[in-house]
Amino acid sequence: MDALQSDLAQQLAEGHVAIESPHLGDSPFVDQEGKLSQIAVEAENDGFGSLGIVIVNHDPSEAGGLRNLGIDLLNDSDLDTIVLRSPTIVDVVSKTHHRAELEIGRNNLAQNLDPVAYPGQLHAFIADLDNYSAPWGMFSLIAAIVVGAVFVAAWRAARTAFIR
């Protein structure tokens, strides 16, 4: 575990928010730490699950680096979900939410990277995940079409074999 990951993990263990180098004051999120922590507490109280929010000052140098950091932090914590944010990238990892719903929420979080808008975006993200439902109607329709096609093909094959 590198120093950044260790520091972020310690901050998450102490609360719901971890900000890279908060003592330097160069992150625009330092002033919002209280709001972000309150959002995480409310999410857990409302049944979303435990939420960690991680802010890093620089984009990762490799593709998937932010997600990899999130997975490591998630595995080292008791949190259910971690939302990660760098200057131009947002990612989410979770033990309790499906990847499809996380992607929908992540895309909405990435629409506006203004730090001032971030608390409102987190509220919307949590609401999106709470209201997510797999499109069972579409799955049922596709399954019915496939079963119908198989039935018709079997009927035609049986009819053709019977006529000969």
Let me know whether 93 and 159 are in one domain: no
Query: What pLDDT does residue 107 have?
Result: 79
Let me know whether 104 and 161 are in one domain: no
Q: Which residues of the chain have pLDDT under 50?
A: 133-134
The tens digit of pLDDT for each residue in 82-125 reads 999 998 899 999 999 888 888 877 877 888 888 888 898 898 88
Nearest to 12, CA basis, from 101, 109, 81: 81
Terminal C-alpha separation, the chain: 72
44's CB contacts (< 8 A; 6+ apart) are 50, 51
pTM across the whole model: 0.76
Let me know whether 49 and 24 are in one domain: yes
Q: Domain residues for 104?
A: 3-130
Domain with residue 18: its CATH number is 3.10.310.50
What does residue 82 show for φ and ψ, rounded to 5 degrees?
-130, 130
Let me know whether 84 and 124 are in one domain: yes
- The DSSP call for residue 155 is H
